Structure 1
């Protein structure tokens, strides 16, 4: 008989197994012929522990087998049966059983052929990692983190990566930076990676052959790499046999939201070598040297005239020291009929652990070197870039034009050209290198991350979500969908909080990543997902402050319940003529499951932190801290 058994391990992982054995004698003793199988019309048998609950058992069943079938023919139990059903049904081939998920586990129905009694045991061991999923979960919750720490203003000379950058970085004859990779001592323990990289190349070639359009863009991307001398072909006998060598596999990533490069080739620095170490394992990540996105977007909402742009191929404008380029070797050929070629990547490579630090630190170095000659542009380079995206502004059009000229020149001297300029005032953009398309605001170049957009034509903030139909709704697909809602300012917090509460329920039920949901949660998600597209209709004014305000006030509100707590800060300003303006720059809603009082305390703390971050200018922050101190003294 088929037996479904669920075991809960101490590590909170659930494993399900189906054991099959011959039990023809048991079937005969119960009055059921072996040809009848499981699930004859009018009867559905669920096999479970006899202590599972007060169910009516079939009196003819041989209980010595340890399994008891539940007779579901009675009216009362048939009603209970439908309540036990969950979303999830596996239909095998004709004549094979149907597997249905229930609250008690999986049940098997319809006729099935019993296997032979003598089966050779087989042991299978499988390992599934969900690191990327865990990373997306962490990133989703980290967006809500509010801190009172000041933005990164000074570099830490005690940091190992900072020390190495300062000691080894230099410029070439064209002004481009040459950097050294911050490697750990374990670099010599890297294993062999050529065989693994070849397998990955063959797999990618098979995918490219099935999709000619992808193949064409892939070839163009690599061709551009080679033409710009960002990679150089080498003979295999030129590769060092003394120092560490590493091969990087690569794959394609589609960027639907990009207005320039729809396909990007990403190099996998996390691919394990034969020793179990990857290239990323032997690199130091380095500190964050730029402001966080919340600080940048809050400042962006205060300016009268704003500018945005990004650096073209930022990582590839920074060269890697020659003696480390053997750690960045790739394999390539245009099609499977040609011989495999070896190439050295000569620039900072997207997909490696130290790349973000090296690229952003080199950009910051431009600002550090020009503090005296270009103080305004230098300050903008240091604090208003998020990776390669610029979001900044000024109070007048004349100041914006001057700032744009300086920001165009300084990075360009290091080979970093700014492109896709945009402004809410078209007169600032007096050349052809500008864009009127919406600017995407995001934490990283993740093509799956959609969300907050700035429309320079209407000078408003919007949201962009796309329909995402899924054949099967699971915890994995729900998380994938929710993670696309990127909301650093918390403007759609009331909608996001519902998704977070749903995620908490999934975790409490200990549902696996690819397991279907209970019926009630399935219906709840379907309803929420349908209404989620309404976020695309939301439009919020970018600017939150009047021109030349006579006073500025911050008004904070917070509240809590058993399920969630939240806080919101309103900024109110007025000029000397009495013209007032009020906006909601930074709401935050956090899901929680503790008591109301504790949630209320947390909500108040979040409100205070939000007010501290909202007062990003020196005058506002000083005023806020002064008023806060007075209120605390009253208490």
Structure 2
């Protein structure tokens, strides 16, 4: 049983031994290639004789042989004395799993009674199939250590071969029944979003896209307190950074991005109460934001869900990056801008705010005692939630569909807004200024500020409001460096040498060159051909290359030094 599996499988040979018929066929996508799988059914009886109907995908191979956890004599005596029935007999040799059950089947077989802890630290998990031995031993043992490492070099090689065949074609993350199920979930999340979003005088208010298991989310209060102590301890050695951290909280409180939780609020029963730990991320290269406070929605107690686990991530609502960049290069006057603190401009409805609580101190000069700790909660969508990109994109899309219906500018924004970066263009200064004013008005209707405007037209740059002008002279457009005065994009890429050359280091060096438009393909082709040859020769990821191949790669990689490749219109 696998709590992380989304599908259930049975080995073909095992299914054939029991003469299980194939009732259907479907196509699944494994990494980058689709494959046909037969579907069979199986009736499984639990220890009480109840039957469970399983729907399984037939597969030639599930995983390698797995060693069972070692039970010391004291543990065996404990099991015998308490009359505990294990899910399977103990074997001295490794066992080859024949059936893998996905997460929903797993919970169908779990029993709602407490687990047992053996003297060794191993745990007995109660299921309808008997107790399962799990966990780690707390005592040091003289038995040889065993580690399970399953490799699939053949599958990796096939995947890479298919990648070369599909590199220029469109692919979907899911196919067949899995794709249909994912699409149904996305449709449901979108429908609930559109039914719950509210437009008020100060902007749009949204709900968090909860999954059905949201009630299992713990409050994480002790994690948040421990992280707060660590953050303060770290910042105590850098007073300017501590003061900046404190200013961010005070600024967000003043702007209404967060609000203080009073004792009266704390005593009121809420739908979900959850505390988010936080830490600083320094961004010195950014012109506008040198420090960010990042909130950790992935923090969790052992064997408990985090906030992101109980939220739907939602569908990806992004236009094609390559298409945006191509249109950007086609305009006579390309214009870039971004939305100021975009995620924090989407309001969170009151019912969900207590799921985004956080802690700070009233006085940074005093220790984090209970009297000095203050509890806040977000009134806006928090950056760090897996659903934040979906909520931002869906809110903007909702506004464009309902408030700018029929507007050509609204459609242009929808096709060229990548998260919070807007890349549009014009054929004259007059058209550029018209689009500037219209786009500003549209985002003002969203209670958002479009700023950091920059184009290749100096007259346009000087005409727009000072507060909207970008202060940088070397911007990046979706990660690509742009020289606005010459209107050229600049690509750079060098491959650093390593003492040990393996297939992994070659792959990492090749992937380090960012080239979304494929302009550097002729330069990178020898390196790509070399990497493909390593797959054909079946080199494993971390096996050092032969001296001959290592020398060959050093010649190729040192020859790739793209310092200032510019395109010109």
Asked if TM exceeds 0.5, the reply is yes
- Give the drift of 1:257: 3.6
| Matched position secondary structure for 1:380 | helix
Unaligned runs of at least 5 residues, structure 2: 1-61, 67-139, 150-155, 173-182
Residues 173-214 of structure 1, C-alpha deviations (whole Å, 9 max, x = no match): 22x110111111111111241122223333333433445554
SS in 1 for 2:563: helix
Q: Which residue of 2 aligns with 1:558?
A: none
CA distance 1:299–1:198, shift in 2 (3 Å):
same
Q: Check the 8 A contact 1:266/1:350 in 2, yes or no.
A: yes
Judge conservation of contact 1:205–1:335 (CA < 8 Å) in 2. no
Alignment TM-score, normalising by the size of structure 1: 0.55
Partner of 2:249: 222
Q: 1:328 aligns with which of 356, 359, 372?
A: 356
Q: Is the 8 A contact 1:307 1:422 kept in 2?
A: yes
Q: 2:424 aligns with which of 370, 392, 397?
A: 392
Higher mean alpha-carbon deviation, 343-352 vs 309-318, is at 343-352
Partner of 1:231: 258
2:368 to 338, 360, 363: 338
Q: Which residue in 2 is equivalent to 1:4? A: none
Match for residue 110 of structure 2? none
Instruction: With the length of structure 2 as denominator, give the TM-score of the two structures.
Output: 0.61
The one-character-per-residue Cα deviations of 1:400-432 (angstroms, maximum 9, x if unpaired) are 111111011110222211111011112223132
For 2:254 and 2:312, locate their aligned partners in 1 and report how far apart those are by CA, in whole Å: 30
- Following the alignment from structure 1 to structure 2, what is the Cα–Cα distance between the partners of residues 236 and 531? 66
| Structure 1: distance between partners of 2:269 and 2:500 | 50
CA RMSD, Structure 1 to Structure 2 (Å): 4.2
Cα distance, 1:391 vs. partner? 0.8
Structure 1 Cα separation of the partners of residues 352 and 459 of structure 2:
46
1:180 is matched with which residue? Answer: 207
Closer, same or farther: CA 122–145 of 1 in aligned 2, 3 Å: farther
User: In the alignment, is residue 535 of structure 1 matched against residue 567 of structure 2?
Assistant: no
Partner Cα distance (1:526, 1:214) in 2: 43
Tell me the equivalent position of 1:207: 234
8 A Cα contact 2:504 2:541, kept in partner: no
Mapped partners of 2:412, 2:309: distance in 1: 33
Provide the rounded CA distance (Å) in 1 between the counterparts of 2:221 and 2:512: 35
| Equivalent residue, structure 2, for 1:510 | 540
Offset of residue 470 of structure 1: 8.1
Are the structure 2 counterparts of residues 383 and 275 from structure 1 closer, same or farther at C-alpha, using a change threshold of 3 Å?
A: same
* CA-to-aligned-CA distance 1:335-359 (integer Å, 9 cap, x gap): 6723332210111111111110110
> Is residue 460 from structure 1 mapped to residue 488 from structure 2 by the alignment?
yes
CA contact (8 A) 1:367 1:377 kept: no
Match of 1:316 among 341, 344, 350: 344
The CA deviation at 1:158 is: 8.1
Q: 1:197 aligns with which of 224, 249, 255?
A: 224
User: 2:413 is matched with which residue?
Assistant: 381
2:279 alignment counterpart: 251
After superposition, the Cα gap between the structure-2 partners of 1:330 and 1:525, relative to the gap in structure 1 and judged at 3 Å, is farther
Contact persistence 1:364–1:381 (CA under 8 A): no
Asked if 1 retains the 8 angstrom alpha-carbon contact of 2:527 and 2:557, the reply is no
Q: Name the CA distance, whole Å, in 2 between partners of 1:498 and 1:266.
A: 41
Which whole-Å CA distance do the structure 1 matches of 2:245 and 2:531 have between them?
37
Partner residue in 2 for 1:584:
none
Q: CA deviation at 1:315?
A: 0.4
Supply the distance in 1 between the matched residues of 2:313 and 2:237 (Cα, whole angstroms).
Answer: 37
158 and 121 in structure 1: CA distance in 2 versus 1, 3 angstrom threshold:
closer
Return the match for 1:411 from 413, 435, 443.
443
Q: Would the aligned equivalents of 2:186 and 2:315 in 1 still touch at CA under 8 Å?
A: no
Q: What CA distance in whole angstroms lies between the structure 2 residues aligned with 1:278 and 1:167?
A: 26
Structure 1 CA distance, aligned partners of 2:414 and 2:557? Answer: 40
**1:261-410 alignment to 2 at 5 Å?**
261-333=289-361, 334=364, 337-339=367-369, 340-372=373-405, 375-410=407-442
Aligned to 2:7: none
Decide whether the 8 Å contact of 1:318 with 1:347 is kept in 2: yes
Q: Deviations over 1:551-576 (max 9, x none)?
A: xxxxxxxxxxxxxxxxxxxxxxxxxx
- Verify the 8 A CA contact 2:494 2:513 in the aligned structure 1: no
Contact 1:424–1:457 (Cα < 8 Å) also in 2: yes
Q: Which residue of 2 aligns with 1:434?
A: 469
Give the count of matched residue pairs: 405
- d(CA) in 1 for partners of 2:64 and 2:469? 53
Superimposed CA distance per residue, residues 13-65 of structure 1 (whole angstroms, 9 cap, x where no aligned partner): 99xxxxxxxxxxxxxxxxxxxxxxxxxxxxxxxxxxxxxxxxxxxxxxxxxxx
Give the unaligned 5+ runs of structure 1. 1-9, 15-118, 129-133, 150-154, 443-450, 544-635
Q: Is the 8 A contact 2:328 2:334 kept in 1?
A: yes
